[in-house]
Chains A and B, each alone.
Chain A
Amino acid sequence: MNEKVFQSARLAQPVATGDYWQHLCYVSTWDAFLAQSGGEWSRVFRDGAKVKFGKPSGSYVMLGRVKGFPAYWSQWTLKVHPAFEVNGLPNPNEVLNPNWNIGYSLGPSSLTGKFIDDINQVYLHQPNANRIDIYSLEDGRKVGEIVHNAGEYFASLAWVQPGQVAGLCRTSGKVRIMDYLSSPRVLATGRIDPFKVAAYDSTFKLFFTIGTDHKTRVYCGELWPNGLSAPVFEPATVYGLKGNRVRVRLTGQDGEPLPGWWVNWELEGVGGEIIGSLDKYGNLTDADGYASNLYIGPDDGSTGQCKIKARVVL
């Protein structure tokens, strides 16, 4: 599970009863999100503040675009248009796919996100719940694919940085960061809570969602700890008058190592005095999720039991 850094108290909800969000896109020049519902254009901010500025028209379907902008596909002309920077509305005067019409079966919807990179002339389409196909905008040829095995369509495909997109699954909350340009593959996986609409904040590298409860949630790329192993001595035999190496491992939901978290160490006597001492009382987990310490055995020849407690600061 990715670390959730924020959940709003404010509700970002369409005004009209029964209306619901269909698309969400981070607009890098606004540092805000463009949300589209059946009857509403709105800007939504990370804290859940929402400003309605219009009402969609013209059957344009939003999709992700390179550099963190929305683009719009028209099901009537099969063309993709960029958006005006000031208000995010479709700009029908420009076409991003002049050489290849993106047909009805390849176009985006509120269920399956699509992505266009008109700089590198590629279009990302999801033929099934486990794969993304990469098409050339020049002639509509399939030039590559990414097998992600999420088992669910990405509701949003959003720009991360040059050559990378993020895919976000609505029901399972699975997220993927994928390379679609140099060597198409999954670069990172994670999980967030299920949502109604979601986008990727390419400025701060965040996953941003609006839930079915209308609250906004912000997740950073870092995974949230799921388990801390019991302290293990290496080697297993502990001696007095010596620093004995002991370590714990911090892992995420799917067993991934979690680096850079503070671990606090403590000695606790078992039915008596504390025996020996620790080298450190707080340190960080390393790249493999391990935090190591030294237990210095007693120097007076005493024997007995003593407990080492390790805790993660969340």
Chain B
Amino acid sequence: MGLWHLNTVGPCMSYVDNGSCVPPPGPALWGPLGLTYNGQLITCPKHYRQSTNWVSNFFYEPGNDRIIAHIVLNTTYWPSWDVQRYEFNAEDGAWCNREEALARQAWIGIWGAAYTRAATMGSFNKIYACRNNETDIREISWQYAEPVSGGWSANPYTWNPKSIYGYAVVNRIDNLLAAAANWTLDCWRNISTTPERFAQLRLPNVLNYLAYESRNYCWVITQDGVICKADYQIPRWEMISTVQNPEADALKYFITYDTKRKRVVVFRQRPDAADGACQHQLEFYYPMVKAGQLTQPVPVTSLKAGNRIILAANLIGDAGEGVTPYTVAGEMLSPVEGRLVTPFSGTELNGRVCFQYQAPDHACTETLGLKVTVEES
């Protein structure tokens, strides 16, 4: 199982354009333009009045069927920062509130964005998040990232062992909580009565974001773009995959799960372009089998003349996971002296294919070419 890359919307949003730039060293704080903060944003060749400081929250909001990002911006205008809510169509990633956000009307206030982090959907289609200014995990409003008055909350710092989390998925139906601070995902049960940490899952790398899928599953994305799916009830790892082109200049990754379309959405935070333009992108993935590479066939039995020789290769996904079911065709490249006994082989569960070759009774050099056809639909 891997993640099939459906499409990328990049850039998925943009900043307020200043329309002009100021030659270096850039505008003074007090100058002919009036009060200008963060002058580097409009110092040539840059010409945008905003830039991303940090992304507070990124989640799927099922009530409106939208992907939401709460972003704290550095700005040239007063008071030098801004917090906007960016809304994207969950179907195609189109920026729904473009006019509103560029007119700076999607303002959500500083407290939600500053104090709330890593929000994700949880039980009853509500949004839950950890907090920076307290140890509670709270139900928050999707618009403003502020705690909902009278909403659900829990404080793992009062549990045994005392815990403080930066990321959490809340399953109130089964009384479960899966939460992480950095390297481990802690799984708690009986969270409404006597919470008990019943298991831990070690993460493959530093966590970037955690997303809820269902009463059983959650998704993690690490700082190098590796995506894992976990069953937090058992708990165990269910799948490992990765974003497309993880080596590109990503600053951070954020992940959410679109429960309506059953697919993964990744927000890739990227540095601004040379002219200061926003380059963040949304990537849509469908969890299914996806072949990434076919390894070279390697002989696994003695290469003696006259022997029946077995050669093994692996069809694998982007994270090295075995991929099946595919048929791999083998072909001897001329000059051929022996005989390929099995011209094709089906992949086993771990993506392995095996070919049998009958060697002649004398020394020779042979080349086996392998080919697999992966159809994209």
Judge whether A86 and B199 touch: CB under 8 Å. no
A55 with B205: in contact, given A31-B312, A49-B295 (CB under 8 Å)?
Answer: yes
Judge whether A47 and B304 touch: CB under 8 Å. no
The chain A residue with its CB closest to the CB of B246 is: A52
Q: Does B372 contact A (CB under 8 A)?
A: no
Q: Does B301 contact A (CB under 8 A)?
A: yes
Q: CA separation between A107 and B344, bound complex, in Å?
A: 46
| CB neighbours of B151 from chain A (8 A) | none
Of A8, A42, A204, which is within 8 A of B301 by CB? A204
Q: CA separation between A46 and B204, bound complex, in Å?
A: 23
Of A3, A46, A91, which is within 8 A of B312 by CB? A46
The chain B residue with its CB closest to the CB of A216 is: B298
Minimal beta-carbon separation of B244 from chain A (angstroms)? 14
Judge whether A41 and B204 touch: CB under 8 Å. yes
Q: Does B43 contact A (CB under 8 A)?
A: no
| CB neighbours of A29 from chain B (8 A) | 349-350
The chain B residue with its CB closest to the CB of A48 is: B296
A262 with B306: in contact, given A86-B239, A218-B298, A220-B301 (CB under 8 Å)?
Answer: yes
Of A43, A89, A90, A262, which is within 8 A of B304 by CB? A262
A53 with B240: in contact, given A30-B322, A46-B298 (CB under 8 Å)?
Answer: yes
| Chain A positions 198-244 with a Cβ under 8 Å from a chain B Cβ | 201, 204, 206, 218, 220, 222
The chain A residue with its CB closest to the CB of B228 is: A87
Q: Does B363 contact A (CB under 8 A)?
A: yes
Minimal beta-carbon separation of A103 from chain B (angstroms)? 23
Q: Does A282 contact B (CB under 8 A)?
A: yes
Judge whether A30 and B240 touch: CB under 8 Å. no
Q: Does A96 contact B (CB under 8 A)?
A: no
Q: CA separation between A55 and B302, bound complex, in Å?
A: 36
Total interface residues in chain A, CB < 8 Å = 46
Judge whether B237 and A84 touch: CB under 8 Å. yes
| Chain B positions 224-239 with a Cβ under 8 Å from a chain A Cβ | 224, 226, 228, 235-239
Closest 4 CB pairs of A and B: A54-B204, A51-B320, A43-B320, A47-B296
Judge whether B304 and A260 touch: CB under 8 Å. yes
Q: Does A313 contact B (CB under 8 A)?
A: yes
The chain B residue with its CB closest to the CB of A284 is: B306
| Chain B positions 324-367 with a Cβ under 8 Å from a chain A Cβ | 348-352, 361-363
| Chain A positions 81-101 with a Cβ under 8 Å from a chain B Cβ | 84, 86-87, 89-93
| Chain B positions 287-315 with a Cβ under 8 Å from a chain A Cβ | 293, 295-306, 310, 312-314
Query: How big is the B interface, by class?
Result: 35 or more
15 contacts between A and B (CB under 8 A): A5-B302, A30-B320, A32-B314, A45-B295, A46-B295, A49-B295, A52-B224, A57-B203, A87-B240, A218-B299, A218-B300, A220-B301, A264-B362, A313-B362, A314-B363
Of A32, A52, A87, A93, which is within 8 A of B200 by CB? A93
Of A53, A204, A261, which is within 8 A of B204 by CB? A53
Q: Does A58 contact B (CB under 8 A)?
A: yes
| CB neighbours of B183 from chain A (8 A) | 57-58
Of B202, B206, B349, which is within 8 A of A92 by CB? B202
Judge whether B237 and A51 touch: CB under 8 Å. no
Minimal beta-carbon separation of B144 from chain A (angstroms)? 36
Q: CA separation between A201 and B352, bound complex, in Å?
A: 14
Q: Does B50 contact A (CB under 8 A)?
A: no
| Chain A positions 255-309 with a Cβ under 8 Å from a chain B Cβ | 260-262, 264, 282, 284
Minimal beta-carbon separation of A145 from chain B (angstroms)? 32
Q: CA separation between A58 and B240, bound complex, in Å?
A: 20
Contacts A54-B222, A57-B183, A204-B312 known; 5 new A-B pairs at CB < 8 A: A3-B302, A45-B314, A53-B242, A222-B304, A314-B305
Q: CA separation between A86 and B314, bound complex, in Å?
A: 16
Q: Does A6 contact B (CB under 8 A)?
A: yes
A49 with B204: in contact, given A31-B314, A220-B300 (CB under 8 Å)?
Answer: no
Q: CA separation between A10 and B296, bound complex, in Å?
A: 10
The chain A residue with its CB closest to the CB of B234 is: A93
Q: CA separation between A51 and B300, bound complex, in Å?
A: 21
Judge whether B204 and A51 touch: CB under 8 Å. no
The chain A residue with its CB closest to the CB of B319 is: A53
Q: Does B101 contact A (CB under 8 A)?
A: no
Of A10, A30, A84, A220, which is within 8 A of B236 by CB? A84
The chain B residue with its CB closest to the CB of A218 is: B298
Q: CA separation between A225 and B293, bound complex, in Å?
A: 36
Q: CA separation between A53 and B226, bound complex, in Å?
A: 6
